[in-house]
Amino acid sequence: MKILGLFLITAVAEIVGCYLPYLWLREGKSAWLLIPAALSLAAFAWLLSLHPTAAGRVYAAYGGVYIFVAILWLWGVDGIRPTGWDIVGSLVALTGMAIIMFAPRQIG
């Protein structure tokens, strides 16, 4: 559960770090949004370093959680209700994340 929570926080940091420049570039919002965006992306990079396994495995598994959180963002922030296909796709991605992160491994 701790790993999943860390993945969720990491995904939110990345999405916020990308969403704020989007608001500036596409929606005409203030360029001052770039400051919290940069801080959020720095937090994202730091959070990735806290994961307890090899970087490549973390990045691969993180992608599944990112997809899930992006679909939640679509619904909660963009106000667009996910389709059944969106939900199924994000569940498939989360299943992939679980397989990558929680598969039994030999030590050494």
**Rounded Cα–Cα distance for residues 61 and 4 (Å):** 10
Question: In whole numbers, what is the pLDDT of the chain averaged over residues?
Answer: 90
Q: Name the residue range of residue 47's domain.
A: 2-102
Give long-range contacts, CB 8 A cutoff, 24+ apart: 99-104: 100/57, 100/60, 100/61, 100/64, 101/3, 101/53, 101/57, 101/61
Would you state the pLDDT for residue 37?
98
Asked if residue 37 is part of any domain, the answer here is yes
The structural domain count of the chain equals 1
Q: What is the pLDDT of residues 38-85, one digit of tens each?
A: 999 999 999 988 877 767 788 888 888 899 999 999 999 999 999 999
Predicted TM-score (pTM) of the model is 0.78
Instruction: Find the angle CA(6)-CA(92)-CA(77) to the nearest 5 degrees.
Output: 60
% of residues, the chain, pLDDT over 90? 65
Q: What is the pLDDT of residues 25-36, one digit of tens each?
A: 999 999 999 999
Asked if residue 50 is part of any domain, the answer here is yes
Asked if residue 21 is part of any domain, the answer here is yes
Residues 34/39/41/44 CA torsion (nearest 10 deg): -160
Residues 44 and 14: beta-carbon distance below 8 Å: yes
